[in-house]
Amino acid sequence: MNIDQVLKFILGVNSRTCKNYAPQDLVLRGDISFGAEEFFENEAKMATRLANFISAFLQISDPLEVYSGKRVADRPLTEDQMIGETLALILGDTKIWSASIFWDRNKFTNRTFFAPYAYKTQLNTRKFKLEDLARLNDTDEVYTKKSYFQILKQRWATNFDQLEKYYMKIKIRFNETGEYLKKFEHYPNYYRAANLDHGHWTTPYFDCNGKVKKWVITYASPFFGWDSLKEKLEFK
């Protein structure tokens, strides 16, 4: 491999010239990203943390549960909360140029598709843009067709044995005045979620049709919740 030619090609592709290349030419070989998993480990941990938060909430909280006394059940996740969490990822790390939460069909409350997507176009800026990718109706642009989404969905279609089991020690207020704390009696007292190794790294590619027209590498982390019968986990 001629390093000069490689660097000349990489630096020569930009938002204006990328349309002159075939899509497969804008995907680099896998060995070029050697060491990326260690270099971007903190960014991957941020994605895993968010995925695990969603997994925990979906598996622990039940908006239909009925309690005695004055206690009410938690409400389901809202669109504003998911948009805020997505935006928080790119606010918290300058190396992250875009972030999104992809929900599978009919997995988010009252929405067929939902995919908040936050991105920036300048480094070290305070201007961030945000949109819902579910609004795209073109078959080629639907977010569920993305390669990393499909890979994770197929990988976690049936077998969840490898997922990490996180035990919880949750305490809640004894009464509405918060006289003292009491243990949250809920079974199971654990939730299953992915660790860093369960995510998927893409090879470096130039996102010519996307919002961030740069050479990027994507890390995707799966999250899980109960099915409609609350019998087994499913990819969300």
Average pLDDT over residues 21-46: 91
Average pLDDT over residues 222-227: 94
Q: What separation in angstroms does the CA of 65 have from each of 26, 68, 106, 109, 231? A: 50, 10, 21, 16, 16
Q: What are phi and psi of 117, to 5 degrees?
A: -130, 120
Which region among 10-19, 98-107, 194-203 has the lowest average model confidence (pLDDT)? 10-19
The yes-or-no verdict on residue 71 having pLDDT over 90 is no
The yes-or-no verdict on residue 198 having pLDDT over 80 is yes
Residue 65: pLDDT band (50, 70, 90) is confident
Q: Which residues of 183-198 are buried (b: 16+ CB within 10 A; e: fewer)?
A: eeeeeeeebbbbeeeb
pLDDT for 194 equals 95
The reported pTM is 0.90
**Interstrand relation of 200-201 and 219-220 (parallel, antiparallel or unpaired):** antiparallel
Nearest Cα neighbor of 191 from 49, 67, 58, 65 is 58
Residue 99: pLDDT band (50, 70, 90) is very high
C-alpha to C-alpha distance for 99 and 208, rounded to whole angstroms? 17
Instruction: Report whether 116 contacts 86 (CB < 8 A).
Output: yes
pLDDT for 62 equals 83
Please list, in sequence order, all residues whose beta carbon lies within 8 angstroms of the beta carbon of residue 171, skipping any fewer than 6 positions away.
Answer: 181, 182, 183, 184
pLDDT for 153 equals 95
Nearest Cα neighbor of 128 from 162, 179, 94 is 94
Please list, in sequence order, all residues whose beta carbon lies within 8 angstroms of the beta carbon of residue 15, skipping any fewer than 6 positions away.
Answer: 208, 213
Residue 33: pLDDT band (50, 70, 90) is confident
Please list, in sequence order, all residues whose beta carbon lies within 8 angstroms of the beta carbon of residue 91, skipping any fewer than 6 positions away.
Answer: 128
Rg, C-alpha atoms of the chain: 21
Question: Which token pair is 99?
Answer: 């972030």
